[in-house]
Copies of this chain bind each other. A is one copy, B any other.
Amino acid sequence: MAMMRYAEALNLALREEMARDDSVFVFGEDVAAYGGVFKVTQGLAEAFGDRVRDTPISEQTLTAMAVTAAMAGSRPVLEIMYADFLPLSLDALINQASVYHYIWNGQVSMPFVLRTQGGGGVGTGAQHAKSLDAMVAHVPGLKVVAPVTPADARALLKAAIRDPHPVIFLEHKLLYNLRGEVPEEDDAPGEIGRARLVREGGDVSIFATSRMVLEAEKAADDLAGDGIAAEVIDLRSLRPLDLGAITASVAKTNHAVVVNEGWRFCGYTAELAATIMDRAFDDLDAPVERVATRDMPIPYAETLEREVIPDAAAIAAAARRALA
């Protein structure tokens, strides 16, 4: 076991996979010489030379190149600096990556990873603070993961790199400095598609993603003060979903809150709410409560931004509504 930052855990996973498999390469803006603006790729260029490349600012083409470099035998790991730029990647994801495995009748697989980071809270403004999880999760053929702990960051990035299909790997700007135990000796990849039970509880299930898991934990603390036992589940994998974990928890608590930092309307919480209704309708004593970012651009000023992005208080309030 070693304590390390989330960003360091990602760096470790990249190093391990690049050392293990020559076909893995890393590219993106500022990832080589500078080591990435969040320092996730630090030192990789020194260790792996040309397999780590700084690129021009051309997200659309870089994503399309990841798809076909993967078809041609490489395992690209592309860094898109902010999730806000995912719209630039979407054509390649929807009209290329999503298509070929099925349409070409299984002739090709596309083992690439698109790493990006989203989320707000630090005054980066409307074009650098969004979570567009729902947009990528909507695309068939993509897997979407969003680890919260350093250990999961490492294990799931390794799994993503080894996966024969495209994986969108969602990080969060406020997670990079989070420290946690990482079992250095165990270098097995994680399993994509499994949720993580963060905290057990019998009264209400809170299903959250990415940094919202930390807010959900705080909300659970708050609720505990009122004698409410909240179960907190970190979904980890946004697609595919761990349906077993979800339905088992709702069967126990009969109340559910779903939390995601993206916008609400047509957002990721809609799928979670609809899926829970579909799979656990008879277990539900109240409608699933959705906690999401307000349906508006994210303002710069701190006094405004904090009203727009969800926090522990909003989650606790939703849990209380569910139980009311």
How far in angstroms is the closest Cβ of chain B from A294? 8
Measured between beta carbons, the chain B residues less than 8 angstroms from A134 are: 134, 138, 266
Q: A288 an interface residue at 8 Å Cβ cutoff? A: yes
Binds B, one of A40-48, A88-96, A147-155: A88-96
Q: Check A273–B268 contact: CB distance below 8 A.
A: no
Measured between beta carbons, the chain B residues less than 8 angstroms from A88 are: 91
Measured between beta carbons, the chain B residues less than 8 angstroms from A269 are: 274
Q: How far is the CA of A94 from the CA of B89 in the complex (A)?
A: 13
Binds B, one of A19-27, A98-106, A160-168, A194-202: A98-106
Interface size on A, residues (CB 8 A): 50
Q: A271 an interface residue at 8 Å Cβ cutoff? A: yes
Interface SS of chain A: helix
Mark out the residues of chain A between 72 and 101 whose CB falls within 8 Å of any chain B CB in the assembled complex: 84-85, 87-88, 90-91, 93-95, 98-99
How far in angstroms is the closest Cβ of chain B from A255? 12
Q: A172 an interface residue at 8 Å Cβ cutoff? A: no
Given A87-B95, A91-B88, A266-B138, check contact A281 B287 (CB 8 Å).
Answer: yes
Q: How far is the CA of A139 from the CA of B87 in the complex (A)?
A: 11
Which of A's residues lie within 8 Å of B, judged by CB?
60, 84-85, 87-88, 90-91, 93-95, 98-99, 102-103, 126-127, 130, 132, 134-135, 137-141, 239, 262-263, 265-271, 273-275, 277-278, 281, 286-288, 290, 295-297, 299-300
Supply 12 A–B pairs (Cβ within 8 Å), ascending by A.
A87-B94, A90-B135, A94-B132, A95-B126, A134-B134, A135-B135, A138-B262, A239-B266, A266-B266, A270-B271, A271-B274, A281-B286
